[in-house]
Amino acid sequence: MSRSPFFPDFASLPDSLPVFPLAGVVVMPGTQLPLNIFEPRYLNMVEDALASNHIIGMIQPVRNDEEFEPELQRVGSAGRITSYSESNDGRIVMVLTGVCRFTVSEEVEGQRGYRRVAADWGRFATDYDETGGELSNRETFLDTLRTYTELRQLDISWKDLNKLGETDLVNLLCTHLPLEPEEKQALIETVGLDERAELLRGLLSLSVAARQAVSDKPH
């Protein structure tokens, strides 16, 4: 993964950052996440981020409910606002590009209605390793992915996917596949590339088996 010259060095990552709690949404390093911001507190968050380092943390709530300030998971994924536009109806449409995962040390005082956390980046320092990594069995991984996408009727550009390096491939899938929130959480908490890929392959295999079992039932 080639890193944008506008991204901070690892040593310059902020001690604290604003967080956007959203179930089922992560932004792995190098991936792009489109977001539609309309709540006043999160419009404030984006405005403040644009006025400083452009960094926002995506973090999942422990429970997917409607609480105003739900309990947060301990690991999130930070991204940098790399493009945005303002709409006439008061929304901000933006793209967040993944930078690095983080562990929440503690929640700190929020501002202008949104929440902030103190971040420990050390566990995920390898997110800054531009040499990437290797999958122990890329073909098996892709075969499982192909079966999964066919059963789910997902439209994937295999030509583009096959051009990706190992790290970018796995990170892209972790960010964008329609997985359950707890599955995405397990994936972002898995540090190593090969271990993360194997976990993802296992999750896809379970989904395939479950769908095949349903389709095999007599009607």
For 6, 73, 200, the CA distances from 146, given in Å and listed in that order, are 35, 31, 13
Find out whether 94 and 85 touch, Cβ atoms under 8 Å: yes
Question: Could you give the C-alpha distances from 46 to 2, 31, 124, 162, 219, in angstroms and in order?
Answer: 25, 19, 24, 34, 51
What pLDDT does residue 66 have? 66
Along the 219 residues of the chain, how does pLDDT read in single tens digits?
567 888 999 999 999 999 999 999 999 999 999 999 999 999 999 999 999 999 999 999 998 776 678 999 999 999 999 999 999 999 999 999 999 999 999 999 999 999 999 999 999 999 998 776 788 889 999 999 999 999 999 999 999 999 999 999 999 999 999 999 999 999 999 999 999 999 999 999 999 998 787 665 565
Q: Which pLDDT does position 63 carry in this prediction? A: 85
Q: Compute and round to an integer the Cα radius of gyration of the chain.
A: 18
**What's the pLDDT score for residue 216?**
59
Going by C-alpha positions, the residue among 127, 138, 110 that lies closest to residue 190 is: 127
Return the pLDDT at 100. Answer: 98
Indicate if the alpha-carbon torsion angle 186, 187, 191, 195 is positive or negative.
positive
Q: What is the pLDDT of residue 217?
A: 59
Q: What is the pLDDT of residue 212?
A: 80
Output the CA angle 26-68-78, nearest 5 degrees: 25
CB 132 within 8 A of CB 61: no
CATH tag for 10-128 (out of 3.90.1150.10, 3.90.850.10, 3.40.50.970, 2.30.130.40) = 2.30.130.40
Identify whether the C-beta of residue 177 lies closer than 8 Å to the C-beta of residue 155: no
Q: How far is CA 38 from CA 43, 91, 126, 146, 211, in A?
A: 6, 5, 34, 36, 36
Beta strands in the chain (DSSP E): 16-21, 32-37, 55-59, 75-86, 92-111, 114-120
pLDDT of residue 186: 98
State the pairing for strand pair 55-59/16-21: parallel
Strand partners, 111: 114
What's residue 146's pLDDT?
96
